Amino acid sequence: MTSEADFQTAFTKWLKNRFKKTAVFELKFCRGVSLPFSAVMDHQLLALQHASTSSLAYKISDGTLGQKPFDCFSVFRVPAYIVVRFEKPRCKKFYMITVGNWLHHIETSQRRSLTENWAEKIGEVCYFS
């Protein structure tokens, strides 16, 4: 996997075949040794928070490529994750970090970025088959 688009494709396949639950996700692909917390935009964090603590309704744009599955959706108190993949040749590992955990570490840490070692400690380690 050399791009976020490749990661998105592999992750979507993983969701269909392995995850089989309702949740929301923001994917981030890190090419360096750490991912700045600012890589997850404020509006993304807010949407993830709403999905996990109350409700989120979203209209899917009519301008999406291909056929969209439906017009809109609503989620209510579902798990919300920032999913991080660090670029490494032949590595099939990625990390799912709850939005609550992500926000906690932004607020309490003196660091401004997430390393892979830290992601392993605060997130769930997952693997592509």
Return the domain boundaries, the chain: 4-127
Q: In CATH, what is the architecture of 4-127?
A: 3-Layer(aba) Sandwich (3.40)
Record the tokens describing residue 3, joined without a space: 């791009």
Q: What is the pLDDT along the chain (129 residues), one digit of tens a residue?
A: 578 888 999 999 999 999 989 999 999 999 999 999 999 999 999 999 999 999 999 998 887 667 888 999 999 999 999 999 999 878 889 999 999 999 999 999 888 999 999 999 999 999 997
Pull the structure tokens for residue 114. Answer: 């997430």
Do 9 and 65 contact (CB within 8 A), yes or no?
no
* 97 neighbors 122 (Cβ within 8 angstroms): yes
The dihedral built from the CA positions of residue 109, 32, 116 and 19, taken in this order, carries a sign that is positive
Q: What is the pTM (predicted TM-score) of this model? A: 0.91
Q: What is the pLDDT of residues 79-95, one digit of tens each?
A: 999 999 999 878 889 99
